[in-house]
Structure 1
């Protein structure tokens, strides 16, 4: 294999240690090898950075295994040209395995230009990615709490959902709070709690509320509602941080929202996953492959065999699937070209 880098390093990163292998020398000769092991505290990673600088390394490569590479990346970022390799694609040949050999293997691949770098967005996009992913996680928790309340109401034979389309709207929440507080619900009190067309369904609501509600049911509904409101508060705080980080990208968000099925939240999440610099993806096909939303390819001797798609970016894949489903429900031109 022809070398393309005169001075580079490969890192085998673990939770407590980083084994670094530096290869240096003319491209037409066998390189000299220097190996050292460092800890993973900030002080020790700074020592690693100084050692790599002393050895005049221009490129540094590491595997994207787990989350341990992130601490190393954060320290070395901006000082070297960093390459994050897919562990599956740069796996060493079978045989005797040690951390030193792994680091040397990564350095050798990097020296010959055989590591395809994984996409790592800049710091502000990484921060936005953390926030939007956490927001989706919290939104999932709210959905779970709502489902649990539905289940408890059915267990108590309270059939509110037969007449209240949005149980967690203004009217539905008022009725739930009254149930938790153990209030006596007659026609007048129910009429004061509901709004719009529900005022015409007061007799039916009274009948729906006439179930087998026990103190246990009230206690559980109260806990679920309390947790749901707490999570909603966390989401509001997250949204403020997300809006702050999105200010430099309003043009990109506007362009994403022109796609049928993409709303503000989805646009922010997509931007957080792929960034604003599309030069990292040579074509739309590369982006689709990176997100693993394209079919696999397994052909031999003219015959196509079934194959699994890669895991890809799970967050982006979920957003794309959810947005496409929303577009189909709206019956727009994307659903029916």
Structure 2
């Protein structure tokens, strides 16, 4: 488990380094007035890599050659792409691009090797990986990080709240000079980061976690992602503890929960002898 933790953390660092190199390539292309990003959603996809390699090699890209480089699924027209790569690239630009390109290639090869080692170490935990992979926003890479950071034996945590607190996604309760704050503790940085990333991955989805984040974000802004990370870790805890797969609640479960809460309150007040106006009952 310690070996797995070392590998997943190192993989995360290398991915950050690769992103940095990609950003540097973006900057050099902009400096050379090559606007590939305006016509390709990902310049490091199939089409983008072919074009970049041709630029690095100093090739003169004609329309026919460009048509062979561009994948058939690319939405931009050949004319628009040709116009975007018609910049002012100099020898210096090509040299710098080559340095970053080769380093990026080295990082990608290393990440691939790490993936193989991680996959081997996860062999005893295939069931747990599949269970965690079923949670919205969690893929197999994220599942590997969850297992590496918190293990698969949930008996080491007294409850899901203890796990959330250990990960640093539980609000604190501090008071100083009469002022209260709910700032979270630092916790396990790697686990906290991957939990938040998984939450953000559900942004365009329609599920419990996405609904929870949107609901909290409306009231508390950026705190919504931390609160939802708490929910996600609670789900992961219960799944690993019980061995039961994730079951999706309705995306509007929060609204239904609040409505049921209000209806119970109305019934309680009625039993106590209070009269509830019909308009308020209909709102509830």
Partner of 1:163: 39
Higher relative contact order at CA 8 Å, sep ≥6: structure 1 or structure 2? 2
Distance 1:151 1:331 in 2: 36
1:311 counterpart = 2:193: no
Q: State the structure with more CA Rg.
A: 1
Tell me which residue corresponds to 2:156: 280
- Counterpart contact for 2:171–2:185, Cα < 8 Å: no
Aligned partner of 1:230 in structure 2 is 106
* Greater than 3 Å deviation, 4+ residue runs: 197-200
Q: Distance in 2 between matches of 1:308 and 1:197?
A: 46
Gaps of 5+ in 1: 1-124
CA shift in 2, pair 1:328/1:216, >3 Å: same
SS at match of 1:196: coil
Please state if 1:206 is matched with 2:82.
yes
**Rounded Cα–Cα distance in structure 2 between residues aligned with 1:331 and 1:225:** 38
2:197 maps to which residue? 322
Q: Conserved in 1, the CA contact under 8 Å of 2:32 and 2:93?
A: yes
Give deviations 1:286-320, integer Å, cap 9, x for gaps: 0000001010112589x661153221100000000
RMSD, aligned CA: 1.7
Give the drift of 1:203: 1.2
Contact 1:156 1:214 in 2 (8 A): yes
Output the CA distance in 2 between the equivalents of 1:251 and 1:240: 18
Match of 1:332 in 2: 207
Q: Distance in 2 between matches of 1:278 and 1:219?
A: 52
C-alpha contact 1:191 1:199 (8 A) present in aligned 2: no
Normalised by the length of structure 1, the TM-score is 0.60
Partner of 1:15: none
Which of 53, 65, 68 aligns to 1:189? It is 65
Correspondence for 2:3 = 127
Q: Which residue in the other structure is 1:75 paired with?
A: none
The alignment's TM-score, normalised by the length of structure 2, stands at 0.71
For the pair 1:269 / 2:135, whether they are aligned, the reply is no
Residue-by-residue CA offset, 1:84-106 (whole Å, 9 max, x unaligned): xxxxxxxxxxxxxxxxxxxxxxx
Q: What are the within-5 Å matches in structure 2 for residues 1-337 of structure 1?
A: 125-198=1-74, 201-299=77-175, 305-336=180-211, 337=251
Tell me which protein shows more strand as a share of its residues: 1
